[in-house]
Amino acid sequence: MILPLLTYGTTDINYVLYSQNRKDIKISVDLVNGVEVYTPENLEGAKVKELIKKKSPWILTKLRELNEVQISVQPKEFVSGEKFPYLGRHYRLKVHKEPIEKAKLQFKQGKFIAVVLQNWSQEQTNHFLEGEFIQWYRTHGTSKIKERADKYQAILGVQSNSISLRTQHKRWGTCTPSGDIYINWRLVMAPVKVMDYVIVHELVHLLVAEHNEHFWKTVQSILPDYQQRKEWLRVHGMELHNIG
């Protein structure tokens, strides 16, 4: 999504703007979606910024509070038997400790196989495997994301400047004014239909900058059940933050 920017003092506040059929302005701040601003349709941009600036002290307080919140999802322990999601399915991890010089992680025959150094502590194993899993998700996810994006770009008749995976703690996707699309690498853990929703959402921004009625109707024309996919992220999104 294209993120407007407001500077308050020395702090930059990125927010998502939703233009809706409503009479008042609403500002929401949460851990996953960050700052979201809901405004009446046709409200002038200068007026929107003025209203947000008035609420900036409250927004900054909420953001500071969220930064102190510990995610209530148990981090992975990287031991044999633990399951790791990929495209909505879960695959078991098997860890072998052997007298080797270089550790490695592979995905073979429907499971993750890790071979680590025999004298490693669990902390060393965790540190290595967390990095390997993140790299594995990013490598395999990049090709999958591009495959899905190509499909929907053809349907929508648009072409992004680029599409890539990034670490985004409070965004599932971003579309820059220059047409570059960044997708949160954690999405490759989610079901493909959820990944598709985020991809379509960002691609539609190449046609419609704001989250207005035309934007959502375009999304719905491609994904009639987009609200269910969006709800999955709201309910299960934090579960994808137990790595990295």
In a domain, 74, yes or no: no
128-154 pLDDT per residue, tens: 999 999 999 999 999 999 999 999 999
Per-residue tokens: 49: 């910024």
Burial of 64 (0-12, 13-18, 19+ CB in 10 A): exposed
Domain boundary among 139, 165, 181: 139
Residue 73 in domain: no
Residue 44 inside a domain? The answer is yes
Closest CA to 188 of 116, 91, 115, 92: 91
Tens of pLDDT, residue by residue over 193-221, are 999 999 999 999 999 988 888 999 999 99
125 with 150, same domain: the answer is no
What does the pLDDT read at residue 39? 87
Domain identity same for 219 and 148: yes
Residue 62 shares a structural domain with residue 125: no
Of the three residues 97, 115, 139, the one that is the final residue of a domain is 139
Whether 72 maps to a domain, the answer reads no
In a domain, 174, yes or no: yes
What pLDDT sits at residue 70?
47
Q: Domain for residue 181, yes or no?
A: yes
Same structural domain for residues 147 and 132? no
> Percentage of the chain with pLDDT > 70?
94
pLDDT in tens, 10-60: 888 888 888 888 888 888 887 667 788 888 888 887 888 888 888 899 998
pLDDT at 1 over 60: no
18 and 103, same domain (yes or no):
no
Structural domain boundaries enclosing 185: 140-241
User: Tell me, what's the pLDDT at 145?
Assistant: 95
Strands (E), the chain: 5-8, 11-14, 16-20, 26-30, 34-40, 83-86, 89-98, 104-108, 111-117, 162-166, 173-175, 180-184
Whether residue 229 sits in one domain with residue 149: yes
Could you tell me if 219 and 179 lie in one domain? yes
b/e map 190-225, b = 16+ CB within 10 Å: bbeebbbbbbbbbbbbbebbbbbeebbebbeebbee
Rounded to an integer, what distance in angstroms lies between the CA atom of residue 234 and that of residue 53? 27
CATH number where 208 lies: 3.30.2010.10
Helix, strand, or coil (residue 57): helix
| Within-domain flag for 78 | no
Q: Report the number of distinct structural domains present in the chain.
A: 3
Domain-located, residue 232: yes
19 and 103 belong to one structural domain: no
End-of-domain residue from the set 26, 41, 67: 67
109 shares a domain with 56: no
Distance CA 168, CA 33 (A): 11
Question: What's the pTM value of the predicted model, to 2 decimals?
Answer: 0.74
pLDDT-based confidence at residue 68 (cuts at 50, 70, 90) = low
